[in-house]
Structure 1
Amino acid sequence: MPKILIVGGGYAGFYTAWKLEKWLRAGEAEVTVVDPLPYMTYQPFLPEVAAGSIEARHAVTSQRRHLKKTSVITAKVTKIDHASKTATITPELGEPWEFEYDVVVVTGGAVSRTFPIPGIADNAIGLKTIEEAVAIRDRLVSNFDRAASLPAGPERERLLTVTVVGGGFAGIEVFAELRSFASSLLEYYPQLTFDETHFHLIEAMGRIMPEVSLETSHWVIKHLAQRGAEIHLDTQLTSAQDGRIELSTGESFESDLIVWTAGVMANPAIVRTSDLPVEERGRIKTRADLRVGDDEEFIADAWAAGDISAVPDLSGGGVGGYCVPNAQHAVRQGKLLAKNIVAVLRGEEPKQYFHKNLGAVAGLGIGSGVFQSGKLAIKGLLAWFAHRGYHGLAMPSWERKFRVFWGWWNNFWLGRDIVALEAVQNPRAQFELFAARPKPPAAEAPAPAAPAAAKAAKPAEKEPVAAK
């Protein structure tokens, strides 16, 4: 059987394997997915995970549970040599080995793109993984706990100051969700006041959320300002050293929680270790039919999709002529990719990817959202329901859909869970503190005293002569 290797188990990779299981005949091909993580993360839910509205495990989908006919390998692909059709698989434990394949599908996704701003690498946290979303939530709640035990003053306000860098959809959503979450937390902390909580969003451009109209983006800014959040437009972050935020406008303030959402880039760990062609922005060159290559020629048996690929946007709505890196494209590309692979295996021609963006929807905290489709803009509660309905139904598998909707239903009656488990990031600390340890070896015994006979053998010391 032909061996199909899928590098990356995110949106595009997961959906490619999922649909291949559905469309491949028995014995037609053998599918293997390799990813360092054993689950797919539904990234549109990360802001709600950070705000405690969704349980973290419900925002991910287990590969082994839902890919029943696919071989799942939890490891990294550290090299792709398509000339010899081999990939180097490096597990967390054990030695790397060579995997021979017939067809390779590169869907390694993207990682946070940062700039050499002092303090960012040491103090900021991204929002690309479920672990980062959980850490943001736990940090915010733990900071409220710490601040409540301090007297009013600069240190308390530093703990209650949140800074988000980047005014795209991800940045605005996590910014608004955290503002909503912080406001709800104040009910449980009578020592703290609303005026002591500060939320700053920093955007280098002159507007936020380029996917929506300018009028809608202005409404979002005004809406967040009414909720006590401040957005700095045409402003660059110049330093975050030791948590001190310094802006290009000259303004500065202290912030304990810094969230970075200012851009992504194709996964360099995969792109830079393969012999597949790469375009100027570091993405794999991909045709509209999702085969690796360009309009003139393609590389046989090599496919790519998702954030790691530069797929032409035939609808004309992309940036620079290519599909933007988001979930809408990755999911649809993964589904088409599976169909195209099956078609080529059966001697048929693949179809080109075409998707016209029908709209954008964002959640801005409990009971508030924004929806934009063409000139139609919906704001407030109705848009919030549209946001939850769309993403709840888009979550893969009915098992995960049920968990997400059930969690929302419980939160409606019980409120968000405000327990922070920050200690889970260092789970052995408490155990190590009180663990009994072997006593150090006893010190060597002193040398034995000299025998009495030896003392007698020594010449007697002369007694001092008395003065006459």
Structure 2
Amino acid sequence: MRKILIVGGGYAGFYTAWKLEKRLRRGEAQVTMVDPLPYLTYQPFLPEVAAGSIEPRHAVVAHRRHLKSTRIVTARVTKIDHATKTAEITPAEGEAWTEQYDTIVITAGSVSRTFPIPGVADQAIGLKSIEEAMWIRDRLTENFIKASTMKPGPERDRLLTVVVVGGGFAGIELFGELRSFASSLVGAYPEVSMDDTQFHLIEAMGRIMPEVSLKTAEWVVKRLAQRGAEVHLNTQLASAVGGKIELSTGETFESDLIVWTAGVMATPNMRNSDLPLDDRGRVTVRADLRITNGDDIVEDAWGAGDVCAVPDLTGGGVGGFCVPNAQHAVRQAKRLAKNITGMIRGEDPVDYYHKGLGAVAGIGLYDGVFQSGRLAIKGLIGWFMHRGYHGLAIPSWERKTRVFGNWIINFLVRRDLVGLPARDTPAAYFREFASRPKA
């Protein structure tokens, strides 16, 4: 059988394997998917996970539960030598080994893109993983607990100050959700008022959310300002050393929760391969998703998702390429599975073409926006459209049921305000009281 190796188990990798399972006939190919995580993270739900609206485990999709015939390897692909069609696979524990393949599919995704700003690497956290979203929620709840027992002062202000860097969809949604979550926490901690909290969003450009119209973006900024949050446009983060925020405008303040959402970049692991990359480290592919080296096709090599520079045939992409988002990754994966199956059966591949139907964003409980062309729907209806779209978009009815169940329960009894900050040191309580041998 033909051996197909999928590198990455995010949107593009998971959907490619999922659709190949449905399309391939018995005995046509053996599919292996390699990813260091045992699940797909549905990243549009990370802001709601951070705000306590969705349970963390319900925002991930277990590979082994939903991929029935795919061989799943929980490890990293640390080197690719396509000339010999081999890949080095390194598990978290144990020795690395070499895997042979006939066809390779690169869907390794992206990581947070940062800049060498002092303090960011040590003080900030990203929003690409479920673990990061959980940590953000725990940190905010823990800070409210601490602040509720403190007298007014600089340290208390620091605990109640939240900073989000980046005004794209991820940053705005997280910013709005955390502000909404803080409103719920204030109701549980009478010692803290909303006036005690500070929320700052820092955006280097002169506007937020470039995927929507300027009018809609201005409405979002105004809406956030009405809720006491401050959006700094045309402003750059100059330093975050020790939690002290210094802005390019000269303004300074301190924060105990700094979240970086200012862009993504292709997974750097692809540099350990002989596959062609562009100047941004992305694998170069044709519109039919075959990897290409200039005008020459790299045989038996395919790619999709954030790690690849996929041409946008609609003409709407940045620099002529599809923007790195879940909408493109999922649809590219579906086309990829069809093309690979077709090539095995002697058919010609078809170009990927998708024109976005619109954009949806939630900016807090019962508040959201939907934009399609000139049509903009804001407020409660926009929020329902946001939840409806993403609730139906997460893979499998099993996961859809859990997510909608979260929302229904929260509507009836309100969202859970409990944080679990001690989960990072779960053995501390046991060790504090454990008996030890005498010297």
- 1:146 has 2:150 as partner: no
Mapped partners of 1:405, 1:38: distance in 2: 23
Tell me, what secondary structure is at the counterpart of 1:307? coil
Tell me, what secondary structure is at the counterpart of 1:118? coil
Q: Which residue in the other structure is 1:181 paired with? A: 181
Q: Which residue in the other structure is 2:121 paired with? A: 121
The 5 A counterparts of 1:168-317 are: 168-269=168-269, 271-293=270-292, 296-317=295-316
- 1:378 has 2:343 as partner: no
Q: Which residue in the other structure is 1:64 paired with? A: 64
Q: Which residue in the other structure is 1:364 paired with? A: 363
Aligned letter for 2:298?
Answer: I
Is the CA contact (8 Å cut-off) linking 1:287 and 1:294 kept in structure 2? no
TM-fit CA distance, 1:272: 1.0
Q: Which residue in the other structure is 2:340 paired with? A: 341
Q: Which residue in the other structure is 1:423 paired with? A: 422
For residues 166-218 of structure 1, what are the alpha-carbon distances to aligned partners after superposition, in whole Å with 9 as ceiling and x for unaligned?
00000000000000000111110001111100000000010000000000000
For residues 116-165 of structure 1, what are the alpha-carbon distances to aligned partners after superposition, in whole Å with 9 as ceiling and x for unaligned?
11110111000000000000001001100000010112211110100000
Please report the TM-score for the alignment, with normalisation by the length of structure 2: 0.99
Mapped partners of 1:427, 1:304: distance in 2: 40
TM-fit CA distance, 1:115: 0.7
Structure 1 stretches of 4+ moved >4 Å: none
Q: Which residue in the other structure is 1:464 paired with? A: none
Is the CA contact (8 Å cut-off) linking 1:33 and 1:72 kept in structure 2? yes
Please report the TM-score for the alignment, with normalisation by the length of structure 1: 0.93
Tell me, what secondary structure is at the counterpart of 2:306? helix
Mapped partners of 2:418, 2:227: distance in 1: 24
TM-fit CA distance, 1:295: 6.5
Aligned letter for 1:328?
Answer: Q
Mapped partners of 1:182, 1:94: distance in 2: 44
Q: Which residue in the other structure is 1:330 paired with? A: 329
Is the CA contact (8 Å cut-off) linking 1:186 and 1:194 kept in structure 2? yes
Identity of aligned residues (%): 70
Mapped partners of 1:116, 1:73: distance in 2: 34
Larger Rg: 1
Q: Which residue in the other structure is 1:394 paired with? A: 393
Is the CA contact (8 Å cut-off) linking 1:287 and 1:295 kept in structure 2? no
Structure 1: any 5+ residue segments left out of the alignment? Answer: 441-468
Tell me, what secondary structure is at the counterpart of 1:306? coil
Structure 2: any 5+ residue segments left out of the alignment? Answer: none
Is the CA contact (8 Å cut-off) linking 2:119 and 2:242 kept in structure 1? yes
Q: Which residue in the other structure is 2:317 paired with? A: 318
Q: Which residue in the other structure is 2:162 paired with? A: 162
Q: Which residue in the other structure is 2:409 paired with? A: 410
Mapped partners of 1:374, 1:243: distance in 2: 41
TM-fit CA distance, 1:437: 2.4
TM-fit CA distance, 1:75: 0.4
Q: How many residues are paired up?
A: 439
TM-fit CA distance, 1:239: 0.5
For residues 334-386 of structure 1, what are the alpha-carbon distances to aligned partners after superposition, in whole Å with 9 as ceiling and x for unaligned?
11111000000001001100000111000011100011000000000000000
TM-fit CA distance, 1:294: 5.2
Aligned letter for 2:228?
Answer: G
Is the CA contact (8 Å cut-off) linking 1:5 and 1:103 kept in structure 2? yes
Mapped partners of 2:248, 2:89: distance in 1: 45
For residues 256-282 of structure 1, what are the alpha-carbon distances to aligned partners after superposition, in whole Å with 9 as ceiling and x for unaligned?
10000001100002x111110000111
Mapped partners of 1:94, 1:236: distance in 2: 44
Aligned letter for 2:43?
Answer: Q
- 1:15 has 2:15 as partner: yes
Aligned letter for 2:28?
Answer: E
CA RMSD of aligned residues (A): 0.8
Is the CA contact (8 Å cut-off) linking 2:276 and 2:293 kept in structure 1? no
Mapped partners of 1:73, 1:80: distance in 2: 16
- 1:89 has 2:89 as partner: yes
Mapped partners of 1:432, 1:333: distance in 2: 50
Mapped partners of 1:154, 1:268: distance in 2: 40
